[in-house]
Amino acid sequence: MAKLLVLTVLGLGLGLIRDYRSSYRTRLNAAREVIPVELLNCHLVKGIDTGSEDLEILPNGLTFISSGLKYPGIKSFELNKPGKILLMDLNEEDPAALDLKITGSNFDLTSFNPHGISTFTDEDNTVYLLVVNHPDFKSTVELFKFQKEEKSLLHLKTIKHELLPNLNDLVAMGPEQFYATNDHYFADSYLRSWEMYLGLAWSYVVYYSPNDVRVVADRFDFANGINISPDGKYVYISELLAHKIHVYEKHANWTLTPLKWLTFNTLVDNLSVDPVTGDVWVGCHPNGMKIFFYDAEDPPASEVIQIQNILTDEPKVTQVYADNGTVLQGSTVASVYKGKLLIGTVFHKALYCEL
């Protein structure tokens, strides 16, 4: 009887492990292969070789790009060098990315590890750049003031809070006010790995201001990109491992009410919103297994989707670009400016195309 009980328990345990492994592979979309979708007149951006994880295009075409991210479990081609913020001018004939100088006596450049970024422009046209930073694999938000003439960033403040332990992306509501995604619940690396493997869906979104910090949305399986509609009424959140983009209504007291979600056959990463049309552009990972388990002989693919009329009952979803990793590996973000498309990656290059 005792042996039978032990065998039964072992059988149940092995069955659960198989179930979780199957679910894990499904959530990572491990079986998907990509059929390329090409665009005309594409070229790799000069000056970007170690990632362009997130980008933000100002109305005048100046573009901030975060580069050099080191993230647990993700490939990095420059592990021993700090990250940086790059600047491009998309009005130029052949725009290249240049390093932005960072000034400020209290900012440690040696541990700079930028992730998601967002800008806020105040009434006197001062541009603030908010950057998710992972110094020593912790999480902070760094506040910078953009100095256009000097082509530099002045560091103003570092923001930390217990409700911001695993930051991924943010969308600025003011110089010191934002919504941000935490892509895990646990800060401990061992617990994070089990949280992800088991699909606990405990990650969440926080509203932050100097006087008010609170969770405004939760129960995500890896909350990732976040952005806001041009009229400021709706917040969009990507749930990477559930392959979903959620639409929330934003209220005057900064709370969020869920309205709906869209499901895709790809892992949705960062979200960009066209300020004119309201279209949502998404950098995606067709096969997440190739992102988290990098193989240079079989590199991760890239994919860009465009969502038109996202607030209607029948949004239109278009696969605009896809590559099997031959040209671009691990796309995380895509944004448009005057008929051009700029695509960033987590650790690889960036691509600039005509639409």
- Active-site pick, 43, 115, 134, 246: 115
Q: Return the bridge partners of 149, or none.
A: none
Q: Is 269 marked as a binding-site residue? A: yes
Q: Return the bridge partners of 127, or none.
A: 121
115 is an active site residue: yes
Q: Is 41 marked as a binding-site residue? A: no
Sequence-distant (6+) residues with CB within 8 A of 301 are: 33, 34, 285, 286, 287, 290, 322, 323, 324, 325, 329
Give the other-Cβ count within 10 Å of 277's Cβ.
12
Q: Is 270 marked as a binding-site residue? A: yes
- Classify burial at 122, counting beta carbons within 10 Å of its beta carbon; exposed 0-12, middle 13-18, buried 19 or more: exposed
Q: Is 133 marked as a binding-site residue? A: no
Residue corresponding to tokens 């070229």: 43
Q: Is 169 marked as a binding-site residue? A: yes
Q: Is 253 marked as a binding-site residue? A: no
Integer Rg of the chain from CA: 20
Q: Is 274 marked as a binding-site residue? A: no
C-alpha to C-alpha distances, 251 to 200, 203, 237, 279, nearest whole angstrom: 28, 22, 16, 21
The one-letter code for the residue type at 310 is I
Q: Is 53 marked as a binding-site residue? A: yes
Known catalytic residues?
Answer: 115
Question: Which residues are known binding-site members?
Answer: 53-54, 117, 168-169, 224, 269-270
Question: Which residues are known binding-site members for Ca(2+)?
Answer: 53-54, 117, 168-169, 224, 269-270
